[in-house]
Amino acid sequence: MEAVIPGLDTAKKLGLLEEEYDKVCEILGRKPNFTELSIYSVMWSEHCSYKNSIKWLKTLPRKGPHLLAEAGEENAGLVDIGDGLACAFKIESHNHPSAIEPYQGAATGVGGINRDIFTMGARPVAQLNSLRFGSIDEERTKWLLKGVVKGIGDYGNSFGVPVLGGEVHFDPCYQTNPLVNAMSVGILEIDKTISAISYGEGNPVFIVGSRTGKDGIHGATFASGDITDSSSDDLPAVQVGDPFQEKLLLEASLELAETDVIIGMQDMGAAGIICSSSEMSEKGGHGMDIWLDKVPTRQEGMEPFEILLSESQERMLVVVKKGQEDIVTGIFDKWDLQAEEIGIVTKGDTLRFFDNGELVAKVPAESLVLGGGAPVYDREYSEPAYFAETKKFKIEDVAEPTDLIEVAKFLTEHPNIASKRWVTQQYDSMVGTINMTTNRPSDAGLVNVKGSKKALAVTVDCNARYVHADPRKGCAIAVAEAARNIACTGAKASGITNCLNFGNPYNPKVYWQFVGAIKGMTDAGTIFETPVTGGNVSFYNQTVSKDKEEAVFPTPTIGMMGILEDKTKAMGSDFQHASDSIYLLGESRNDINSSEYLYSFQGVKLSPAPHLNLEEELKLHTVLREAIDKKMIESAHDCADGGLFITLLESAMNHDLGFDVDYDTSVRKDAFLFGEAQGRVVVSVHAGEEKKFEEFLFKQGQTFSKLGSTNASGDLSFGGKSFGNMKQYKERFMNSLEERLLS
């Protein structure tokens, strides 16, 4: 091993705390060498160890009727969808890399999340993404958005998986630190699931896929720190992706999954070889001997720590049954991919790494990993002053606009509400012929499970403005909205994957937001029987400069999947015919809290989160699914951003219909039109079917109101007053984002 042993100063430069360095010395019974210190610095980084979040993550609901693998057990969540099939799904962030190099940052985020899916033996069938940027009128925002979208599009389109859903939001809090969250969904046969595990003394260990380079070294550490004025100096920490190589790796891996020669397989994401080897070994209760000089590299003379920590893309670690090596090399040769034996499984818990016969690092696997010897901290938290300010808001203090049409037009072309067509047209949504929403929009993406009566419903949701206003309630709303979107298709929500984007966990105000969000996710996940199957925590989403420290809004993005038992009954969100009756399921409320209308049009930045009642929400979803199953309704679209007006507009737009709607005189007109109280869905009923539908709702005890009806003229009216014609709104809705982005 190395003759020169580094000390505490080096440990601190690598991101370790003094007490963590002392703990490493205690574990090893000696001072670590530089390679070992580098190993602990990445494995104990926030990005890998979840040391500041795991205590609270363990309180999330982890049991569910369809769950096959609990959170943390595998690379991704795994849910039984029947017929011998399972759905693997997961969402992760690539925020910091995208802030520095948006194209590769976003592209490699897509590549990494897809590998998490197919290393389990699942074929990816759908992608989704949740993107947050600063003000759309800023040149930096335009540069970031264009780069991120092109990175997602180029990688995903080349890889060949359709994008079925997503969201794009803009707020000044994301100006320097954008959020790029990518979700992947796959389908596999349950009996062919591959685990991320290693066992069996003498079994060979292979590295497969691309060669190892110097890109991505200390990427996990980079993701575990604030964005600062010097962050651009860390550009080498951003990986470089190759979607065509990943496509080959996918096909080779799935072919390998058809054999019985695999012990375990894991993607090399954050922290590369050291992460895969330690996590697989700890899970299987064995060790490994790895020969680093046998790892295929792109550059000559790479140091041992560089090989171990590299986050080069399109690589995986595979443990194979001894004597079956030729099968593995044969399959990867067929796909023109590297497959090199670089080690063996050993007894005990020790990982030993050799370079040209020299032992360069010796560490216990258990000491490195989450749930093992990695640190666990219980951070202090305290309520920020702004939370008390939100409670002072009163709707009476906001004057009702004299011109509601002005508000309607303002919201129609607001970048958080207007069509994201410019973005979505860069994504392939049709490859694979499994997208059931190509010709008719729906509130969640629908995946055709071929050879089955079923479909999967998938969505990503979070209104970070609500979470900032009230973390517990706001996060519960994110879960409720995701489940509501799935219910609007006729499906039942089955599981959650989350991407928890927050500021610095050492800031008690930020940690208060994190704890509140976890509690809210637990509240809603328990009610809807949607366990958290896994996901990602992304702290340090904040900008630190000489004169300020500014965190993004707390943004716990919820990825959710559900099961539609009969895909022939899939429900869309658009009105189908003129003269159909329009109903609101749920209740109009005198509530404009944290709405886009209040925040952006009225300029009121602090107010409580909008109304939410989880019991009412659960009943609504149940009634909605039954109405869809009995073919009582023609469309279903939830009330969300922009309120009832935007919901009606989006529902009518696809067929250029209009609508005539009456006000609910028990609430203010601005609240009726633009308030964002939760637990509401707009449905349409074919003319002549109203009595039957209303009798059904009365029997179910579901609150509802008849709003009006659709028309063929395209004219929009409320309370008998014209709001104009669909054509003028549609033109602004479809084109305003692109015009601002390209100006």
Dihedrals φ, ψ of 233, to 5°? -70, -15
- Catalytic residue (choose from 47, 169, 414, 468): 47
- Interacting residues of 329 by C-beta distance below 8 A, sequence separation 6+: 339
Tokens coding 703: 């609150």
- The b/e string for 274-301 (b: 16+ C-beta within 10 A; e otherwise) is bbbbbbbbbbbebbbbbbbeebebeeee
Closest CA to 118 of 89, 83, 151: 89
Closest CA to 156 of 427, 504, 439: 427
Distance in angstroms (rounded) separating the CA atoms of residues 141 and 109: 19
Q: Classify strands 179-189 and 123-133 as parallel, antiparallel or unpaired.
A: antiparallel
* Residue 373 backbone class (left: φ over 0; alpha: ψ -120 to 50; beta: rest): alpha
Dihedrals φ, ψ of 108, to 5°? -75, -25
The DSSP 8-state label assigned to residue 178 in this structure reads -
Q: Is 323 helix (H, G, I), strand (E, B) or coil?
A: coil
Quote the distance between the C-alpha of residue 52 and its chain's center: 20
Is 47 labeled as catalytic in the residue annotation?
A: yes
Dihedrals φ, ψ of 231, to 5°? -60, -30
- Interacting residues of 249 by C-beta distance below 8 A, sequence separation 6+: 115, 118, 208, 209, 210, 314, 316, 335, 337
Q: Is 311 in contact with 269 (CB distance < 8 Å)?
A: yes
Q: Is 80 helix (H, G, I), strand (E, B) or coil?
A: strand
- The b/e string for 593-630 (b: 16+ C-beta within 10 A; e otherwise) is bbbbbbbbbbebebbbbbbbebebbbbbbebbbebbee
- Catalytic residue (choose from 66, 94, 286, 414): 94
Is 94 labeled as catalytic in the residue annotation?
A: yes
Show contacts of 8-15: CB within 8 Å, 24+ apart.
10/34, 10/37, 11/37, 11/41, 14/38, 14/41, 14/218, 14/221, 15/41, 15/45, 15/221, 15/224, 15/225
Q: Classify strands 658-661 and 581-585 as parallel, antiparallel or unpaired.
A: unpaired
Distance in angstroms (rounded) separating the CA atoms of residues 142 and 738: 11
**Helical (H) or strand (E) element with 133:** strand 123-133
Q: Is 59 in contact with 71 (CB distance < 8 Å)?
A: no
Distance in angstroms (rounded) separating the CA atoms of residues 288 and 319: 10
Tokens coding 629: 């199953």
Dihedrals φ, ψ of 642, to 5°? 90, -10
DSSP 3-state percent helix, strand, coil across the chain (nearest 5): 40, 25, 40
Closest CA to 579 of 458, 411, 710, 488: 710
Closest CA to 704 of 673, 738, 679, 674: 679
Distance in angstroms (rounded) separating the CA atoms of residues 701 and 707: 18
HSE, side-chain direction, 13 A CA sphere, residue 649: 30
Q: For tokens 């792109």, what's the residue?
A: 298
Could you tell me which residues are beta bridge partners of residue 341?
Answer: 206
Q: Is 133 in contact with 170 (CB distance < 8 Å)?
A: yes
Active site residues: 47, 94
